[in-house]
């Protein structure tokens, strides 16, 4: 929501426009760090109190952000907002794992991803509308109000979902052991890597899309906005398709194979178009939409695959998933930024192909063989 008014934020706080972009960077940093603490805490204290704490952090620090008088203060509040938001995101996955298994869980994970796909489409437009009423500070006020509404709904309507039983002592050693257990499990960690590498593919496009579409391929800013919304819509279509097919009994392995085929295939075609000089804006966007449909199919199935074997420590497993995903996405976007030369899209399309191909290799050489060795593989 704050992206359209970064220049206004920078002018208000008396800093260069480029530095205002750090408000997004520090939020994402907090979003990556939060789950590492919130996941284990939720396994010990339960999902509900930890989730409400995360929402409360989002509300409090969003409100403080609205009254920030310096960029340093705003960055601090944004980091802490991100920490609370990241904790909430990871707990949503854990709650689904607590309550559902098998195909039903994959349907629910699909709807979680469907909701997540709506956000990048509508958020900038809402941000512009809110800012027109009260400037950039109103955006943080609106986020705090939205968080308060969410806190109220969760307080009234959300019960505890974590497995019952007296928790053991919450220790650093015990927490580290839980993390090691997830990392050493081939099905759980393999699915985590599938998601993370595909997220790297997605982030390679997101981080460089404006540079390529506007700077290289000549799209206007308005057209770029429509193109970005269309590609985000691909994620929603994929998630909805996955929910319907899962409900009809199509196996998760078949769905993941189909999705990976779409992601890898479109990425390799994009590399070929880039190297041949035939890449055009409409071709790029059309192929990315198909790849993003594949992303929407792969993610809910792989997410449930990562959490399914970790019923007693679903919070930790969710934290590993979220943290690895964010780290891979940040690394992929950083590499694209470092290699982008302003003359070719190969840095973006090459990274998309590398990440998606690596994801497919992990799935077919690690995850599927390990699943077949399980009793119901």
Please give the structure tokens belonging to residue 83. 């920490």
Quick one: 199 and 169 in the same domain?
no
376 in a structural domain? no
The pLDDT of residue 166 is above 50: no
The residue among 174, 206, 239 that closes a domain is: 174
Show the domain range for 58.
Answer: 3-174
Provide Rg for the chain, Cα atoms.
Answer: 21
Tell me if 151 sits within 8 A of 327, measured CB to CB. Answer: no
Q: What is the CATH number of the domain that holds 74?
A: 1.20.1250.20
The pLDDT of residue 235 is above 50: yes
Residue 72 burial by Cβ neighbours in a 10 Å radius (0-12, 13-18, 19+): exposed
Cβ neighbours for 365, distance < 8 A, ≥ 6 positions apart:
none
The residue among 143, 174, 205 that closes a domain is: 174
Quick one: 41 and 159 in the same domain?
yes
Residue 96 to residue 283: CA distance in whole angstroms: 37
Can you tell me whether residue 102 is helix, strand or coil? helix
Q: Single out the residue of 303, 299, 345, 337 nearest to residue 320, CA to CA.
A: 303
The structure tokens 């298994």 sit at 101
375: pLDDT confidence band, cut at 50, 70 and 90?
low
The pLDDT of residue 129 is above 90: no
Residue 177 to residue 141: CA distance in whole angstroms: 40
The structure tokens 């399309």 sit at 349
163: pLDDT confidence band, cut at 50, 70 and 90?
confident
179 in a structural domain? no
pTM of this prediction exceeds 0.85: no
The residue among 129, 145, 174 that closes a domain is: 174
Quick one: 313 and 341 in the same domain?
yes
pLDDT score for 220: 85
Quick one: 45 and 91 in the same domain?
yes
227 in a structural domain? yes
Quick one: 84 and 154 in the same domain?
yes
Quick one: 312 and 365 in the same domain?
yes
Quick one: 221 and 120 in the same domain?
no
Q: What is the mean pLDDT of residues 332-347?
A: 89
Can you tell me whether residue 13 is helix, strand or coil? helix
Tens-digit pLDDT profile for residues 20-50: 878 877 888 888 888 888 888 888 888 999 9
Number of domains forming the structure of the chain: 2
Residue 374 to residue 65: CA distance in whole angstroms: 49
184: pLDDT confidence band, cut at 50, 70 and 90?
very high
Quick one: 107 and 206 in the same domain?
no
CA atoms within 13 A on the CB side of 199: 22
Quick one: 275 and 365 in the same domain?
yes
Quick one: 132 and 273 in the same domain?
no
């Amino acid at each position: 929501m704050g992206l359209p008014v970064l220049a206004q934020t920078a002018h208000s706080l008396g800093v260069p426009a480029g530095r205002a972009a750090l408000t997004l960077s520090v939020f994402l940093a907090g979003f990556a760090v939060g789950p590492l603490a919130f996941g284990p805490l939720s396994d010990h204290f339960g999902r509900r109190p930890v989730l409400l704490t995360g929402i409360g952090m989002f509300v409090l620090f969003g409100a403080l952000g609205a009254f920030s008088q310096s960029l340093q203060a705003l960055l601090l509040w944004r980091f802490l907002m991100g920490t609370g938001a990241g904790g909430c995101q990871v707990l949503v996955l854990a709650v689904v794992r607590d309550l559902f298994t098998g195909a039903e869980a994959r349907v629910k994970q699909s709807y979680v991803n469907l909701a997540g796909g709506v956000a990048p489409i509508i958020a900038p437009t809402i941000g512009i509308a809110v800012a027109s009423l009260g400037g950039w500070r109103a955006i943080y006020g609106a986020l705090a109000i939205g968080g308060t509404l969410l806190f109220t709904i969760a307080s009234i309507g959300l019960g505890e979902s974590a497995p019952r039983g007296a928790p053991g002592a919450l220790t650093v050693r015990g927490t580290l052991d839980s993390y090691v257990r997830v990392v050493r499990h081939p099905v759980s960690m393999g699915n985590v890597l599938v998601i993370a590498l595909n997220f790297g593919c997605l982030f390679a496009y997101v981080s460089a899309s404006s540079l390529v579409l506007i700077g290289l391929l000549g799209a206007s800013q308005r057209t770029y906005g429509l193109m970005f919304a269309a590609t985000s819509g691909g994620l929603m279509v994929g998630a909805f398709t996955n929910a319907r097919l899962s409900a009809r009994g199509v196996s998760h392995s078949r769905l993941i194979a189909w999705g990976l085929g779409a992601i890898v295939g479109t990425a390799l075609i994009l590399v070929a178009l880039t190297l041949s000089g035939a890449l055009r804006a409409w071709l790029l966007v059309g192929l990315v939409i198909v790849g993003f449909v594949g992303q929407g199919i792969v993610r809910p199935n792989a997410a449930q695959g990562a959490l399914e074997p970790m019923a007693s420590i679903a919070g930790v497993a969710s934290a590993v998933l979220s943290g690895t995903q964010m780290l891979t996405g940040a690394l992929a976007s950083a590499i694209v930024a470092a290699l982008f030369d302003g003359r070719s899209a190969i840095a973006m399309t090459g990274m998309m192909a590398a990440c998606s191909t690596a994801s497919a290799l992990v799935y077919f050489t690690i995850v599927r063989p390990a699943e077949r060795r399980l009793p119901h593989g």
